[in-house]
Amino acid sequence: MRHHVHPETGVTRRGLAQAGHPVAILAIAALCGALLLTALGFGSSLAADRASTQPQGVLAIPGVDVAITKTVTSAQVEPGARITFTLDFANLGDSPAGTVVVTDILPAGLTNLSIQASGNVSTYAAGPPNWVWQFPGLASEESDVIVIGATISPGVARGTVLTNTAQISAVGDVDSGNNQSAVTITVLDLPIVGLAATSDSPTLLGGTTNFTASVTSGTSVAYAWDFGDGNTGSGANPAHSYAAPGIYTAVVTATNNVSVSSTSTGVVVVSPDVGIAKTVQPTQIWPGAVVTYTITYSNGGTAPATGVVITDIVPAEIISPSVLAAGAQITDTGALPPYVWQVADLAPSAGGTIVITGMLDANAVVGSVVTNTAEIAAASDWDPADRTSSVVFTIVDQPIVGLAAINDSPTMLGSSTQFTAAVVAGTNVSFTWAYGDG
Poorest-pLDDT segment among 34-43, 201-210, 220-229, 370-379: 34-43
pTM (two decimals):
0.64
Give the model's confidence band at 38: pLDDT under 50 very low, under 70 low, under 90 confident, else very high.
very low
386 or 122, which is more confident: 386
431 or 200, which is more confident: 200
Q: How far apart are CA 196 and CA 216, in angstroms?
A: 9
pLDDT at 59: 57
pLDDT at 76 over 70: yes
pLDDT at 55 over 80: no
**Mean pLDDT (whole number) for 278-297:** 97
**Mean pLDDT (whole number) for 143-157:** 94
Poorest-pLDDT segment among 6-10, 274-278, 353-357, 368-372: 6-10
Sequence-distant (6+) residues with CB within 8 A of 215 are 192, 193, 194, 195, 196, 221, 254, 261
**Mean pLDDT (whole number) for 419-424:** 86
Return the domain boundaries, the chain.
Answer: 2-187, 196-270, 274-395, 398-438
CA 328, distance to chain mean position in Å, is 42
Nearest to 13 by CA among 135, 113, 148, 144: 144
Q: How far apart are CA 289 and CA 268, in angstroms?
A: 51
| E strand intervals along 66-159 | 66-72, 76-77, 82-91, 100-105, 110-117, 123-127, 130-135, 143-152
Which CATH architecture group holds 2-187?
Answer: Sandwich (2.60)
Specify whether the CB–CB gap between 273 and 301 falls below 8 A.
Answer: yes
Identity of the amino acid at 399: P
**Mean pLDDT (whole number) for 4-30:** 34
- Judge whether 2-187 and 196-270 match in fold: yes
Q: Which CATH class is domain 274-395?
A: mainly beta
Give the model's confidence band at 29: pLDDT under 50 very low, under 70 low, under 90 confident, else very high.
very low
Q: Supply the mean pLDDT for the chain.
A: 85
Poorest-pLDDT segment among 17-26, 223-232, 281-290, 347-356: 17-26
Give the model's confidence band at 283: pLDDT under 50 very low, under 70 low, under 90 confident, else very high.
very high
Question: Residues 83-119: pLDDT tens digits?
Answer: 999 999 999 999 999 999 999 988 999 999 998 888 7
The 3-state secondary structure of 31-81 reads HHHHHHHHHHHHCCCHHHHHHHHCCCCCCCECCECEEEEEEECCCEECCCC
pLDDT at 149: 95
Q: Which CATH class is domain 196-270?
A: mainly beta
